[in-house]
Structure 1
Amino acid sequence: MKVEENKVIGIAFELKVSKDEDDIESVPFSVEVRDENDPFYFVFGKSGLPEKFEEILSGKEINDEFSFVLEKENAYGEADEELILTLPKSQFSKQNGFTEEMIQEGNFLPLMDENQQPMQAKILKIQGDNLILDFNHALVGFDLHFDGKILSVRNASEAEKQSGLVEGVD
Protein backbone atom coordinates (compact mmCIF):
# COMPACT_ATOMS: atom_id res chain seq x y z
CA MET A 1 0.00 0.00 0.00
CA LYS A 2 1.35 3.42 -0.96
CA VAL A 3 1.55 6.61 1.08
CA GLU A 4 -1.30 8.80 -0.17
CA GLU A 5 -4.18 10.95 1.00
CA ASN A 6 -6.50 9.49 3.65
CA LYS A 7 -4.00 6.83 4.75
CA VAL A 8 -2.63 6.53 8.28
CA ILE A 9 1.14 6.51 8.04
CA GLY A 10 3.52 5.23 10.71
CA ILE A 11 7.14 6.33 10.49
CA ALA A 12 10.38 6.04 12.41
CA PHE A 13 12.63 9.07 12.02
CA GLU A 14 15.28 11.35 13.39
CA LEU A 15 14.65 15.07 13.08
CA LYS A 16 17.61 17.42 13.20
CA VAL A 17 17.35 21.19 12.92
CA SER A 18 19.72 23.90 11.77
CA LYS A 19 19.50 27.64 11.41
CA ASP A 20 21.48 30.23 9.47
CA GLU A 21 22.20 33.21 11.69
CA ASP A 22 24.39 36.16 10.74
CA ASP A 23 25.67 34.26 7.69
CA ILE A 24 26.94 31.41 9.88
CA GLU A 25 25.32 28.05 9.18
CA SER A 26 24.77 25.98 12.30
CA VAL A 27 25.52 22.28 12.47
CA PRO A 28 22.26 20.28 12.53
CA PHE A 29 21.38 18.95 15.97
CA SER A 30 18.89 16.24 16.88
CA VAL A 31 15.59 17.35 18.45
CA GLU A 32 13.42 14.25 18.11
CA VAL A 33 13.87 10.54 17.46
CA ARG A 34 10.96 8.15 16.95
CA ASP A 35 11.96 4.52 16.53
CA GLU A 36 10.15 1.33 15.59
CA ASN A 37 9.03 0.90 19.22
CA ASP A 38 7.49 4.40 19.30
CA PRO A 39 6.51 5.37 15.75
CA PHE A 40 4.95 8.67 14.75
CA TYR A 41 1.50 8.25 13.19
CA PHE A 42 -0.37 10.81 11.10
CA VAL A 43 -3.25 11.01 8.64
CA PHE A 44 -1.72 11.87 5.27
CA GLY A 45 -3.28 15.02 3.83
CA LYS A 46 -4.75 16.07 7.19
CA SER A 47 -1.66 16.12 9.41
CA GLY A 48 -0.88 19.81 9.68
CA LEU A 49 2.72 18.90 8.83
CA PRO A 50 4.51 21.01 6.22
CA GLU A 51 3.05 20.41 2.76
CA LYS A 52 6.51 19.68 1.32
CA PHE A 53 7.04 16.95 3.96
CA GLU A 54 3.95 15.08 2.76
CA GLU A 55 4.82 15.74 -0.89
CA ILE A 56 8.21 14.06 -0.46
CA LEU A 57 6.70 11.00 1.27
CA SER A 58 3.86 10.63 -1.26
CA GLY A 59 3.99 7.35 -3.15
CA LYS A 60 6.46 5.66 -0.80
CA GLU A 61 5.70 2.18 0.57
CA ILE A 62 6.37 0.20 3.74
CA ASN A 63 10.13 -0.19 4.38
CA ASP A 64 11.03 2.68 2.05
CA GLU A 65 13.64 4.94 3.63
CA PHE A 66 13.82 8.71 3.29
CA SER A 67 16.39 11.41 3.88
CA PHE A 68 15.73 15.05 3.01
CA VAL A 69 16.01 18.63 4.21
CA LEU A 70 13.11 21.07 4.33
CA GLU A 71 14.44 24.60 4.24
CA LYS A 72 12.56 26.92 6.59
CA GLU A 73 10.54 28.37 3.69
CA ASN A 74 9.10 24.88 3.07
CA ALA A 75 8.87 24.01 6.78
CA TYR A 76 7.37 26.45 9.31
CA GLY A 77 8.74 29.68 7.84
CA GLU A 78 9.84 32.74 9.78
CA ALA A 79 8.42 33.91 13.09
CA ASP A 80 5.25 36.01 12.90
CA GLU A 81 5.50 38.96 15.30
CA GLU A 82 1.68 39.02 15.54
CA LEU A 83 1.85 35.64 17.31
CA ILE A 84 3.81 37.13 20.21
CA LEU A 85 1.24 38.28 22.75
CA THR A 86 1.19 39.76 26.22
CA LEU A 87 -1.41 38.14 28.48
CA PRO A 88 -2.24 38.55 32.17
CA LYS A 89 -0.40 36.06 34.35
CA SER A 90 -3.70 35.55 36.24
CA GLN A 91 -5.09 33.59 33.26
CA PHE A 92 -2.56 30.86 34.06
CA SER A 93 -3.65 30.17 37.62
CA LYS A 94 -3.89 26.95 39.62
CA GLN A 95 -7.69 27.05 39.09
CA ASN A 96 -7.04 26.90 35.32
CA GLY A 97 -4.73 23.89 35.67
CA PHE A 98 -1.32 25.61 35.79
CA THR A 99 1.36 25.25 38.45
CA GLU A 100 4.05 27.70 39.55
CA GLU A 101 6.68 25.37 38.07
CA MET A 102 5.03 25.69 34.66
CA ILE A 103 5.18 29.50 34.69
CA GLN A 104 8.90 29.90 34.03
CA GLU A 105 10.65 31.71 31.18
CA GLY A 106 11.50 29.30 28.38
CA ASN A 107 8.77 26.80 29.28
CA PHE A 108 6.08 25.74 26.83
CA LEU A 109 2.52 25.98 28.16
CA PRO A 110 0.04 23.30 27.07
CA LEU A 111 -3.07 25.11 25.82
CA MET A 112 -6.23 24.51 23.80
CA ASP A 113 -7.46 26.64 20.92
CA GLU A 114 -11.08 27.70 20.42
CA ASN A 115 -11.79 24.31 18.74
CA GLN A 116 -10.36 22.41 21.73
CA GLN A 117 -7.31 21.37 19.71
CA PRO A 118 -4.02 21.18 21.65
CA MET A 119 -1.50 23.94 21.08
CA GLN A 120 1.37 25.46 22.99
CA ALA A 121 2.96 28.81 23.68
CA LYS A 122 6.49 29.51 24.85
CA ILE A 123 6.96 31.90 27.76
CA LEU A 124 9.43 34.46 26.44
CA LYS A 125 9.37 36.77 29.44
CA ILE A 126 7.60 37.31 32.73
CA GLN A 127 6.94 41.02 33.05
CA GLY A 128 5.31 41.86 36.38
CA ASP A 129 1.70 40.64 36.21
CA ASN A 130 1.99 39.72 32.52
CA LEU A 131 3.47 36.93 30.44
CA ILE A 132 4.92 37.52 26.99
CA LEU A 133 4.00 34.39 25.03
CA ASP A 134 5.17 33.18 21.63
CA PHE A 135 2.47 31.21 19.79
CA ASN A 136 4.70 30.53 16.75
CA HIS A 137 5.47 26.88 16.02
CA ALA A 138 8.49 25.71 18.04
CA LEU A 139 10.37 24.90 14.79
CA VAL A 140 9.77 28.26 13.09
CA GLY A 141 12.94 29.64 11.49
CA PHE A 142 14.70 26.26 11.32
CA ASP A 143 15.69 24.02 8.41
CA LEU A 144 14.43 20.50 9.16
CA HIS A 145 16.62 17.46 8.39
CA PHE A 146 14.69 14.15 8.26
CA ASP A 147 16.10 10.63 8.10
CA GLY A 148 13.61 7.82 8.47
CA LYS A 149 11.63 4.86 7.26
CA ILE A 150 7.98 4.11 6.42
CA LEU A 151 6.80 1.47 8.92
CA SER A 152 3.09 1.17 8.18
CA VAL A 153 0.37 2.37 5.82
CA ARG A 154 -3.34 1.68 6.34
CA ASN A 155 -6.65 3.16 5.28
CA ALA A 156 -7.90 5.90 7.59
CA SER A 157 -11.30 5.46 9.20
CA GLU A 158 -14.05 7.96 8.38
CA ALA A 159 -13.52 9.62 11.77
CA GLU A 160 -9.77 9.90 11.12
CA LYS A 161 -10.41 11.40 7.68
CA GLN A 162 -12.72 14.00 9.22
CA SER A 163 -10.63 14.95 12.26
CA GLY A 164 -7.12 14.35 10.96
CA LEU A 165 -6.38 12.59 14.27
CA VAL A 166 -5.20 8.97 14.43
CA GLU A 167 -7.58 6.87 16.56
CA GLY A 168 -5.44 3.82 17.16
CA VAL A 169 -2.17 2.25 16.23
CA ASP A 170 -1.54 -0.83 14.13
Structure 2
Amino acid sequence: MNIEENKVVGITYELKVSKTDEESAPFSAEIRDKDDPFYFLFGSSGLPEKFENLLLQKKVGDTFNFTLEVEEAYGEADDEMIMALPKDQFTSERGFDPTMLEEGSFLPLMDEDGYSMQAKVVKDMGSDLLLDFNHPLVGFKLHFDGEVIEVREASEVEIAHGHVHGEHGEDH
Protein backbone atom coordinates (compact mmCIF):
# COMPACT_ATOMS: atom_id res chain seq x y z
CA MET A 1 0.00 0.00 0.00
CA ASN A 2 1.39 3.37 -1.02
CA ILE A 3 1.30 6.59 0.96
CA GLU A 4 -1.49 8.83 -0.27
CA GLU A 5 -4.32 11.04 0.99
CA ASN A 6 -6.14 9.72 4.09
CA LYS A 7 -3.64 6.96 4.87
CA VAL A 8 -2.16 6.56 8.33
CA VAL A 9 1.62 6.63 7.99
CA GLY A 10 4.19 5.42 10.50
CA ILE A 11 7.82 6.44 10.06
CA THR A 12 11.10 6.34 11.90
CA TYR A 13 13.63 9.09 11.28
CA GLU A 14 16.45 11.24 12.49
CA LEU A 15 15.88 14.95 12.10
CA LYS A 16 18.92 17.18 11.89
CA VAL A 17 18.64 20.95 11.69
CA SER A 18 20.89 23.71 10.42
CA LYS A 19 20.76 27.45 9.93
CA THR A 20 21.07 28.77 6.40
CA ASP A 21 23.57 31.45 7.41
CA GLU A 22 25.89 29.11 9.35
CA GLU A 23 28.67 26.95 7.97
CA SER A 24 28.42 24.32 10.73
CA ALA A 25 27.18 20.80 10.03
CA PRO A 26 23.53 19.99 10.80
CA PHE A 27 22.97 18.80 14.37
CA SER A 28 20.54 16.13 15.57
CA ALA A 29 17.28 17.57 16.91
CA GLU A 30 15.05 14.48 17.15
CA ILE A 31 15.21 10.73 16.69
CA ARG A 32 12.04 8.65 16.29
CA ASP A 33 13.07 4.99 16.29
CA LYS A 34 11.09 1.72 16.21
CA ASP A 35 10.44 2.06 19.96
CA ASP A 36 8.92 5.53 19.41
CA PRO A 37 7.80 5.89 15.77
CA PHE A 38 5.96 8.91 14.43
CA TYR A 39 2.42 8.44 13.07
CA PHE A 40 0.34 10.94 11.13
CA LEU A 41 -2.69 11.17 8.86
CA PHE A 42 -1.38 11.94 5.39
CA GLY A 43 -2.98 15.08 3.98
CA SER A 44 -4.21 16.33 7.38
CA SER A 45 -1.00 16.28 9.40
CA GLY A 46 -0.19 19.98 9.60
CA LEU A 47 3.35 19.03 8.56
CA PRO A 48 5.06 21.05 5.85
CA GLU A 49 3.49 20.36 2.45
CA LYS A 50 6.89 19.57 0.92
CA PHE A 51 7.51 16.92 3.62
CA GLU A 52 4.31 15.10 2.64
CA ASN A 53 5.01 15.54 -1.10
CA LEU A 54 8.39 13.86 -0.71
CA LEU A 55 6.75 10.85 1.01
CA LEU A 56 3.88 10.52 -1.49
CA GLN A 57 3.67 7.01 -3.03
CA LYS A 58 6.33 5.49 -0.74
CA LYS A 59 5.48 2.16 0.87
CA VAL A 60 6.55 0.11 3.90
CA GLY A 61 10.29 -0.54 3.78
CA ASP A 62 11.09 2.49 1.61
CA THR A 63 13.72 4.82 3.00
CA PHE A 64 13.95 8.55 2.57
CA ASN A 65 16.64 11.18 2.88
CA PHE A 66 15.83 14.80 2.03
CA THR A 67 16.29 18.37 3.16
CA LEU A 68 13.60 21.02 3.47
CA GLU A 69 14.82 24.57 3.02
CA VAL A 70 13.59 27.11 5.59
CA GLU A 71 10.83 28.36 3.30
CA GLU A 72 9.70 24.75 2.58
CA ALA A 73 9.62 23.90 6.29
CA TYR A 74 8.32 26.34 8.93
CA GLY A 75 9.63 29.58 7.44
CA GLU A 76 11.16 32.47 9.32
CA ALA A 77 10.02 33.72 12.72
CA ASP A 78 7.02 36.05 12.72
CA ASP A 79 7.32 38.90 15.25
CA GLU A 80 3.50 39.00 15.53
CA MET A 81 3.67 35.52 17.09
CA ILE A 82 5.52 36.94 20.11
CA MET A 83 3.19 38.43 22.67
CA ALA A 84 2.87 39.30 26.32
CA LEU A 85 0.11 37.60 28.31
CA PRO A 86 -0.86 38.14 31.95
CA LYS A 87 0.96 35.67 34.18
CA ASP A 88 -2.24 35.16 36.22
CA GLN A 89 -3.64 33.15 33.27
CA PHE A 90 -1.12 30.41 34.10
CA THR A 91 -2.13 29.37 37.64
CA SER A 92 -1.88 25.99 39.35
CA GLU A 93 -5.69 25.83 39.24
CA ARG A 94 -5.36 25.79 35.44
CA GLY A 95 -2.70 23.06 35.56
CA PHE A 96 0.45 25.18 35.40
CA ASP A 97 3.33 24.49 37.77
CA PRO A 98 5.57 27.51 38.55
CA THR A 99 8.57 25.70 37.01
CA MET A 100 6.65 25.61 33.70
CA LEU A 101 6.78 29.42 33.60
CA GLU A 102 10.58 29.65 33.61
CA GLU A 103 12.33 31.26 30.65
CA GLY A 104 13.05 28.71 27.93
CA SER A 105 10.21 26.38 28.93
CA PHE A 106 7.50 25.33 26.50
CA LEU A 107 3.94 25.72 27.73
CA PRO A 108 1.36 23.17 26.56
CA LEU A 109 -1.68 25.21 25.50
CA MET A 110 -4.92 24.91 23.55
CA ASP A 111 -6.35 27.36 21.09
CA GLU A 112 -9.97 28.52 21.09
CA ASP A 113 -10.93 25.53 18.90
CA GLY A 114 -9.41 23.00 21.31
CA TYR A 115 -6.29 22.24 19.25
CA SER A 116 -3.03 21.60 21.08
CA MET A 117 -0.30 24.18 20.66
CA GLN A 118 2.72 25.36 22.57
CA ALA A 119 4.48 28.59 23.36
CA LYS A 120 8.03 29.18 24.51
CA VAL A 121 8.49 31.40 27.55
CA VAL A 122 10.87 34.10 26.32
CA LYS A 123 10.89 36.37 29.36
CA ASP A 124 9.23 36.75 32.73
CA MET A 125 8.27 40.43 32.86
CA GLY A 126 6.78 40.43 36.35
CA SER A 127 3.00 40.46 35.91
CA ASP A 128 3.26 39.31 32.26
CA LEU A 129 5.02 36.52 30.39
CA LEU A 130 6.52 37.18 26.98
CA LEU A 131 5.59 34.11 24.90
CA ASP A 132 6.75 33.00 21.46
CA PHE A 133 4.06 31.09 19.54
CA ASN A 134 6.28 30.48 16.50
CA HIS A 135 6.94 26.82 15.69
CA PRO A 136 10.17 25.72 17.46
CA LEU A 137 11.72 24.87 14.08
CA VAL A 138 11.24 28.26 12.39
CA GLY A 139 14.39 29.51 10.76
CA PHE A 140 15.90 26.04 10.35
CA LYS A 141 16.64 23.83 7.37
CA LEU A 142 15.34 20.33 8.18
CA HIS A 143 17.34 17.24 7.19
CA PHE A 144 15.36 13.96 7.38
CA ASP A 145 16.77 10.45 7.13
CA GLY A 146 14.23 7.71 7.77
CA GLU A 147 12.10 4.74 6.81
CA VAL A 148 8.41 4.05 6.26
CA ILE A 149 7.34 1.34 8.73
CA GLU A 150 3.56 1.33 8.31
CA VAL A 151 0.89 2.48 5.86
CA ARG A 152 -2.77 1.68 6.48
CA GLU A 153 -6.23 2.92 5.61
CA ALA A 154 -7.48 5.63 7.96
CA SER A 155 -10.80 5.00 9.66
CA GLU A 156 -13.78 7.25 8.97
CA VAL A 157 -13.38 8.66 12.49
CA GLU A 158 -9.69 9.44 11.93
CA ILE A 159 -10.51 11.20 8.66
CA ALA A 160 -13.35 13.16 10.30
CA HIS A 161 -11.13 14.18 13.23
CA GLY A 162 -8.07 14.84 11.07
CA HIS A 163 -5.66 12.78 13.17
CA VAL A 164 -4.61 9.23 14.07
CA HIS A 165 -6.47 7.35 16.83
CA GLY A 166 -5.58 4.27 18.82
CA GLU A 167 -2.21 2.94 19.88
CA HIS A 168 -0.19 5.52 17.94
CA GLY A 169 -2.58 8.44 18.20
CA GLU A 170 -5.23 9.97 20.37
CA ASP A 171 -7.91 8.17 22.34
CA HIS A 172 -11.07 10.16 22.86
Q: TM-score, normalised by structure 2?
A: 0.95
Question: Where do residues 44-63 of structure 1 align in structure 2 (5 Å cutoff)?
Answer: 44-63=42-61
TM-score (structure 1 length as normaliser): 0.96
Q: How does 1:57-72 map to 2 (within 5 A)?
A: 57-72=55-70
Amino acid at match of 1:132: L
Q: Point out where structure 2 has 5 or more consecutive residues left out of the alignment.
A: none
Name the counterpart of 2:17. 17
Q: In structure 2, what is the equivalent of residue 113 of structure 1?
A: 111
SS of the equivalent of 2:108 reads strand
Q: Secondary structure in 1 aligned to 2:45?
A: coil
1: CA distance, partners of 2:135 / 2:23: 21
* Equivalent residues of 1:10, 1:151 under 8 A apart: yes
One of 132, 135, 139 as aligned partner of 2:130: 132
Stretches of 4+ aligned residues off by more than 3 angstroms: none
CA shift, 1:128, in A, is 1.4
Segments of 5+ residues of structure 1 without an aligned counterpart are none
Distance, in Å, in 2 between the alignment partners of 1:86 and 1:74 is 29
Q: Distance in 2 between matches of 1:110 and 1:71?
A: 27
Aligned residue for 2:101, secondary structure, equals: coil
What is the CA RMSD across the aligned residues, in angstroms?
A: 1.1
| Amino acid of the structure 2 residue aligned with 1:29 | F
**1:139, distance to aligned residue in structure 2 (A):** 0.4
> 1:169 Cα deviation (Å)?
3.9
CA contact (8 A) 1:20 1:26 kept: no
* Amino acid corresponding to residue 37 of structure 2 in structure 1: P
1:73 aligns with 2:77: no
- Return the offset for 1:37: 1.9
Instruction: Indicate the percent of aligned positions where both proteins have the same amino acid.
Output: 60
